Amino acid sequence: MTHEGYVDRFLQEEYQDHSALFEAQPPIVQRFLEAQADQLAAMILQRAPHARFDLPDRVVDKGGAMLPVPGPARQQTVGGWTRLLRRTSAGEVLRRHLAELAQSADPAVATSADLVRFATAMYMVHSILPAGRSVTYVPVEGEELPTLPVASDLEPESALTEATDAIAEQGDDAHGRGQFQIPFTPAARRFYLPQWVAYDDQGRLLVGTVEEAEAHVASMQHFVAVLHAAAALAPYVVADAVYQQKRYGMLGQLVNQGRALARYKTDQIVATIARRAAAQTLNRGLRLSLPYFDDQALEVKLREMQVIPAGRIMFVPALVVRAMREERAKVAQDTRLSPSTRSHLLSELAVIERAFTTPSSSSPA
């Protein structure tokens, strides 16, 4: 199996059929469909309550015949107050509307609906999302999900630079206006989109603030959400090579950076506990909201736990150690979490446990 992942043969054939149908259209029809795709993609991603779009005036069917689209059927409206009342997503409403059109008795209308669906999904994947670098990820030991970027042999690290030094990279800008330079650290350059890398392989913050790191993670989540929206609209789009490359590149980066963000915040929690313990402000109980990255939901979640019951209980490090050990036992049996998420969360609990382990608390409490 390649890193692009396994694609069902049926989806592969369906993708090829739709791609061939689109390529059979005259160039002017293709441009028209792409313009409609722009509008419909905006409706989906901006969660617009409704949208209007047009079908082309003529299309080429699967048999190669040119068919005129009836004038009354060309103007289409999707959405409205009914969607808002039912709380149905814009993408689902559009998918259902196009599915109904695809069942039309008029072959020109049915073909047009299939073309609009294909063009919209492809526009979301190819035009909305930026292209990234060629990358390879490997799994953390004991896991199956590849999240660790492999350094390229073509980019040896210089003895004159540190891992956190920025290196200028040249490339073509998005509008083809010539060359530009973007500074990225060597650690960031190993990922699909270096501009959204906030932590290096040692967990060090590469941006100014944690808020910036959170914004980068949000950008990656939006990237993946666009891919999911395209696949929900036209499932066969997963067979597209660009879809596979973008999904592989961004999924590994998102999980890696999401975990790094959670680990960074865990270190901050450790420092806060130590500071408050030194100031003797933890003698009335302690609860933690431990951040961790759920690689199924693809978001940072919080694990609530009570470390020291409320009341006049004097803080001692051994209480934290015992609480972390008890929580690790619970997490190890929590089947709601994926195996890789459990491993990630267990490692964070171990970090807190080690930080407060003293000779007197090294034995099981």
pLDDT of residue 7: 64
pLDDT of residue 85: 45
Chain centre to alpha carbon of residue 214: 13
Q: Average pLDDT for consecutive 10-residue bins of the chain (365 residues)?
A: 60 96 97 96 88 94 95 87 62 91 96 97 97 94 91 53 49 44 78 96 94 98 97 96 97 98 97 92 90 96 92 88 96 95 96 86 48
Task: Report the alpha-carbon distance of residue 199 to residue 206 in Å, rounded.
Answer: 5
Q: Calculate the alpha carbon distances from 207 to 194, 262, 275 in Å.
A: 12, 15, 25
Contacts of the segment 251-254: beta carbons below 8 A, 24+ positions apart: 251/224, 252/135, 252/137, 252/145, 252/146, 252/147, 252/148, 252/149, 252/191, 252/192, 253/135, 253/149, 253/191, 253/192, 253/193, 253/196, 253/197, 253/220, 254/217, 254/220, 254/221, 254/223, 254/224, 254/298
Q: Calculate the alpha carbon distances from 360 to 54, 258, 326, 354 in Å.
A: 74, 35, 18, 13
Q: Calculate the alpha carbon distances from 266 to 20, 240, 259, 304 in Å.
A: 51, 39, 10, 13
- Kindly report the pTM of this predicted structure: 0.86
Listing DSSP states for 193-241 in one string gives: -GGG--B-TT--B-SS-HHHHHHHHHHHHHHHHHHHHHHHH-GGGGGSH
pLDDT of residue 353: 96
pLDDT of residue 232: 94
Residues 6+ apart with CB under 8 A from 55: 69, 73, 74, 76, 109, 112, 113, 116
Under 8 Å between Cβ of 320 and 356 = yes
3-state secondary structure of 302: strand
State both tokens at 232: 């929900």
Tell me which H or E stretch contains 8: none
In this structure, what DSSP letter does residue 32 have? H
Domain boundaries defined on the chain:
9-128, 137-258, 261-361
